Chain A
Amino acid sequence: MESVPGVEATRLTKIYGHGHTEVVAVQDVTLRVARGEIVALLGPSGAGKSTLLTAMALINPPTSGQIRIGGQLVMDGDRALVDLRAFRRKNLGFVFQKANLIPFLNARENVQVALEVNDVPPRAAHQRAMELLEYLGVGTRADNLPDALSGGEQQRVAVARALANHPSLILADEPTAALDSHRGRQVMELFARVAHEHGTAVIVVTHDARALDVFDRTVHMEDGRLKNGKSPGG
């Protein structure tokens, strides 16, 4: 496994509210995920998993701590050191519990739009989108609107969109929650394949213990803190 850091959160703390209403969602968390590594982030509801994930996704600034992505310091406390939207465009991919496809675009266009906002010419974007959909086994559904796709197919399209710009980091928040166990496992295996074949760092928040064997490492969170981490074998 590569030792180049895909993402590195250092002493990350996120506090919501203040005074009597203050809630510490994430407290002093340090997490490093290498390129080509896929990590499961586990923990009970309210443990702070999603908060940590959205902080690393650069859409929920931490109260303190630092975030480095691809070796570049991008957040220092709640201060952004880069244009976050442009940085997300070039370096990050997202998959959520719901596929969140744009309903008025077909499967190919949902992938293509991620490429075009990153200044890929339409013809090249079209070709890349088709390649990704073929790679993920939904090439035949390219012209279908999201409504006409099954949950699993939608999630594959969402994964294709996340992969479109060759991100160095993919963040997935319970991506299999809406899928049956078979489909869920397929998606998890897909993430592992992407991480290992493309050298992408992948962090997956999940409650699904049935597919943990596909991860390189699991990390447990409770009450906003990391408890321990372990490899699938141990």
Chain B
Amino acid sequence: MNLAVRDVRHHAGRFVLTSVGIGLLLMIVMGMGGIYRGLIHEATLLVDRVGADLWVVQGSTRGPFAEVSRLPANLEDRVRAVPGVAVARRFVSHTFQREHQGRALRLVVQGLSWPEDRGDWAPLVAGRPLRQAHFEMIADQSLQLPLGERVRLGKDMYEVVGLTRGMVGSGGDGLAFLTVSDAMAVQFDVPGEAVRLERAARQARLENLDLGRVTPQLSERALGPTSELPALGPPQVSAILVTLSEGADPARVAATLSTWPDVTVYSTQQQKDLLLSGMVDKARRQLGLFRALLIIISTIIIALIIYTLTLDKIRDIALLKLIGARNRVIIGLIFQQALLMGVLGYALAWWLGGFAFPHFPRLVVIETADLVQLAFIVLGISMLASLLGIGKALNVEANTVLAT
């Protein structure tokens, strides 16, 4: 005869309500683990999908995701000339927020190196890759931009021609793929007034110099577009993506590029490690701390409930001792209840999570290994939580049944 189940049946309401509470707590514990997995997935998604063998970034930086990296766009040509390099692409990545149809539109703009890269590698769920050098974009579904939608970015309108699913940046914001030149135009867009002021300032600086006063032609050039000023640097990109030739040794190519003092080279794995050790690591520790706290809280709640249920049964436990029940019968009664509460809570967490997690603002990835790990944790906390009740029960004297 299973005493635990019969007692639970007798106190079904209280037991089920407590289990629901435990289930919700465990669902959050489960969700925290899933959010961490989601962070890793999101952080490394682009690095995995973009299909580069090497990442060339600004010297002595850990860009372009972990920190800002600025490289001259024409570095692409230098890289292409290195033996073993099959393709070199410019890569631009920056996050910004605009108002679009009355709502905040926060997106991560990724520049595709047109015409070599049209975004064919992106997992399209609707539409097509880019077909022209300007004013088209591929957007992730999370941005809630339908196909054919026209979005103003900077001074230009961009039409959504393709949709991806699950393509988000490490911050959880949806990706928007434009050509590199469009991405740079968006990135370096400044208002007309700022352009006018800068030109005026340039002219003023020039008039203060002898060179400006004696060279009228220079003064005229200073009033022209910034891109036509030879003294200014070329347009800048975030990184150069390298695809190696068939059979090329990545270490050898990386070693060659690393001899250049103005760049740093990372393999795809190193780039992922940078993302995980930097940006994701603190979030991981934060989530881990929350998980630990919630597990402790769950343990305390189960322990208190089991203890309360045990207190309610003191007379029954004394009676069981009086009629000669062995300790294992009494321990089994309490432990099985704690276990049942844990198992019910776990099952509820799993079931509720199936409904709730897809609606979380961040991606939640639940892996089987994490579910198994949590199952063992629940088993452990159930055992731990039952100790308080078991300790109380074992100290009950058989003659208590006479005193109560």
Contacts and interface: CB of A to CB of B under 8 A. Distances in A.
Interface stretch (A8-16, A114-122, A176-184, A214-222): A114-122
Interface string B1-31: 1010011011100000000000000000000
A13 to B, nearest CB: 18
B1 A161 contact: no
Nearest to A145: B10
B398 A85 contact: yes
Interface centre among B10, B319, B320 (most CB of A within 10 A): B319
A120 to B, nearest CB: 11
B7 A118 contact: no
A81 interface: no
Contact of B399 (A59, A86, A87, A161): A59
A50 B402 contact: yes
Contacts of B319: 100, 102
A42 to B, nearest CB: 19
A122 B1 contact: yes
Contact of B323 (A89, A104, A125, A145): A89
Interface in B310-340: 315-316, 319-326, 329
A105 B323 CA distance: 15
Contacts of A90: 324
B397 interface: yes
Contacts of B253: none
A88 B399 contact: no
B401 interface: yes
A109 B326 contact: no
Contacts of A94: 322-323
Contact of A59 (B3, B6, B320, B322): B322
Contacts of B1: 105, 109, 112-113, 116, 122, 125
B323 A114 contact: yes
A118 B316 contact: no
B227 to A, nearest CB: 84
Interface in B292-326: 315-316, 319-326
A103 B10 contact: yes
- Chain B binding site: helix, strand, loop or mixed by DSSP? helix
A60 interface: yes
Contacts of B9: 104
B402 A117 contact: no
A186 interface: no
A102 B316 contact: yes
A122 B2 CA distance: 11
Interface centre among B3, B322, B323, B326 (most CB of A within 10 A): B323
Interface in B47-90: none
A105 B6 contact: yes
Contacts of A118: 324
A89 B397 contact: no
B316 A103 contact: yes
Nearest to B321: A85
A104 B5 CA distance: 10
A63 interface: no
Interface of A: 50, 54, 57, 59-60, 85-90, 94, 96, 100, 102-105, 109, 112-114, 116-118, 122, 125, 145, 161, 173
Given A89-B324, A109-B6, 4 more contacts: A54-B399, A88-B324, A104-B10, A117-B329
10 closest A-B pairs (Cβ-Cβ)?
A89-B324, A104-B10, A59-B399, A117-B325, A88-B324, A104-B7, A59-B398, A102-B316, A114-B323, A104-B6
20 contacts: A50-B402, A59-B322, A59-B397, A59-B399, A85-B321, A85-B325, A94-B323, A96-B402, A100-B315, A103-B10, A103-B316, A104-B9, A112-B1, A117-B320, A117-B323, A117-B325, A117-B326, A117-B329, A125-B1, A161-B323
